[in-house]
Amino acid sequence: MIKRLYDWMLDKAGHRHASKWLAGFSFTESSFFPIPPDVLLAPMCLAKPEKSLWYAFICTVASVLGALLGYAIGYFLFETIGIAILEFYGVTDKFELFAQNFNEQGWIVVLLAGFTPLPFKIITIAAGSTAMPLYILIFAAIISRAARFFIVAILLGRFGMPMKTWIDRNFALATTVGGILFVGGFAVVRWLV
């Protein structure tokens, strides 16, 4: 099922309304959809490198708005829709323990999840179910999602297909290391100030 969904999504890269599809996938991935918008962002950046930054902007705005939907699901509909989404991703049993400590370091978790392959939708739902201050979610989501999508867009727009091949092969490693460095930079600044 996921493979068919992935192929269907990839097919939208050549659609005449590809930018709208990109916005839709970016929005829904932040709250429930299983496939990240990078699947559509990458071929669009390769096809039209001059529009790469615009595509990254679309992803960022739509993803942050989708994070608000994820937050609303966690805040208002956790017992119904939120639990069903967690069950779909197989994290229900671990979620309660995760949620207990979430708000202590929630902004770091949102930064990491927004930048790395961690399922961002789980984090946005957790933010709502634990009543994380909304401004923290929004701020962390803007920073992390913009960093992720703009880095991908810049690299693909500048270096093309060889970069796509490298990202496809090393996506989890590259985003995890990048996320650690990204959050580590914030920790160093906080420690120094």
Write out pLDDT tens, residues 104-163: 777 888 887 787 767 889 889 999 999 999 999 999 999 999 999 999 899 888 887 776
Question: pLDDT-based confidence at 51, cuts 50/70/90?
Answer: very high
As given in the structure block, the two tokens for residue 4 are 């068919």
What average pLDDT score do residues 83-90 get? Answer: 89
**Using an 8 Å Cβ cutoff, are 176 and 117 in contact?**
yes
Classify the C-alpha dihedral 163-168-171-173 as positive or negative.
negative
How many CA atoms within 13 Å lie on the side-chain side of 73? 23
Task: Find all residues with CB under 8 Å of 4, minimum gap 6, and list them.
Answer: none
- Domain limits, the chain: 2-192
Q: 6-41 pLDDT, tens per residue?
A: 677 667 777 789 999 999 999 999 999 888 898 889
Looking at every residue in the chain, the average pLDDT score rounds to 82
pLDDT at 84 over 60: yes
Whole-number pLDDT of residue 168: 65
Whole-number pLDDT of residue 193: 33
Whole-number pLDDT of residue 191: 44
pLDDT at 189 over 50: no
3 vs 157, which has greater pLDDT?
A: 157
pTM recorded for the entire structure? 0.81
Q: What percent of the chain has pLDDT over 70?
A: 81
* Closest-CA residue to 21 (of 50, 70, 59): 59
